[in-house]
A = this chain, B = another copy of it.
Amino acid sequence: MNIHLNSLDIQQIEHRKRAALINSLSGFKSLNLIGIASREHETNLAVFNSVIHLGADPALMGFISRPHSVERHTIENILQTKFFTINHITVDIFEKAHQTSARYTREQSEFEAVGLTAVYKNNFAAPFVNESKIQIGLELKEKVAVQSNNTLLIIGEIIDLYFPENIWLEEGVLDIEKAETLTGSALNGYHTTKLIKRMKYAKP
């Protein structure tokens, strides 16, 4: 049996159930930890499931931030310091990664609170997650305002990139499944993956 909900039906669903439902609809999500350091060299770390690819030349990635969310420390610091890191979440660290979504105080580093290790490399201004296998250092390029619901699309250019040599395939792709990167569903689902097929470039 199929369920049909229109926009009125959706509005009438209880707040938390509606959030869970709507968060399920985009499909599977990327799972990353975003690391930053404040001007005072305090570190913050937050889990994000909205990191997306924006372009390869220049090499740009983006993520969505909500105005009054737990992540606001992350955003404030990125806007001030201009640098942040994106670190893939693997099976070994997903529970610690999830725990960064708790409302810690501004003074408390989520690195310490959840038991992950901040590491600085090659003079990059933001800390990487040492336990993460794919680590990306980015510089803020643009902050795009979404009027419809006061969210921000934060865009960074890739400055430094670290990954295990044995996952870089001939055609340029990283085998992120071999790197044990996870995928997410809704707000709380953590999943492993199994490759069915890599498709060829499609022609009519």
A138→B202 CA distance, assembly (Å): 27
Q: Please, which residues of chain B bring their CB within 8 A of the CB of A79? A: none
* Copies of this chain: 2
A10→B136 CA distance, assembly (Å): 12
Contact across chains for B199 and A173 when beta carbons are under 8 A apart: no
Of all chain B residues, which has the CB nearest A194? B192
A171→B74 CA distance, assembly (Å): 29
Q: Please, which residues of chain B bring their CB within 8 A of the CB of A166? A: 1
Contact across chains for B27 and A176 when beta carbons are under 8 A apart: yes
A116→B33 CA distance, assembly (Å): 38
Majority SS of interface residues in chain A?
mixed
Q: Tally chain A residues at the interface, Cβ within 8 Å.
A: 114
Contact across chains for B28 and A173 when beta carbons are under 8 A apart: no
Contact across chains for A18 and B57 when beta carbons are under 8 A apart: yes
Complex interface bits, A166-195 against B, C-beta within 8 A gives 1, otherwise 0: 101001111011000111011011111111
Task: Determine which of B23, B32, B51, B88 lies in contact with A53 in the assembled complex, contact meaning CB atoms within 8 Å.
Answer: B23
Q: Apart from A24-B174, A26-B30, A191-B193, what 18 extra A-B contacts exist at CB < 8 Å?
A: A3-B168, A4-B162, A5-B161, A22-B53, A27-B32, A27-B176, A52-B52, A54-B151, A95-B199, A98-B202, A142-B146, A173-B185, A173-B189, A188-B198, A188-B200, A188-B201, A189-B197, A191-B196
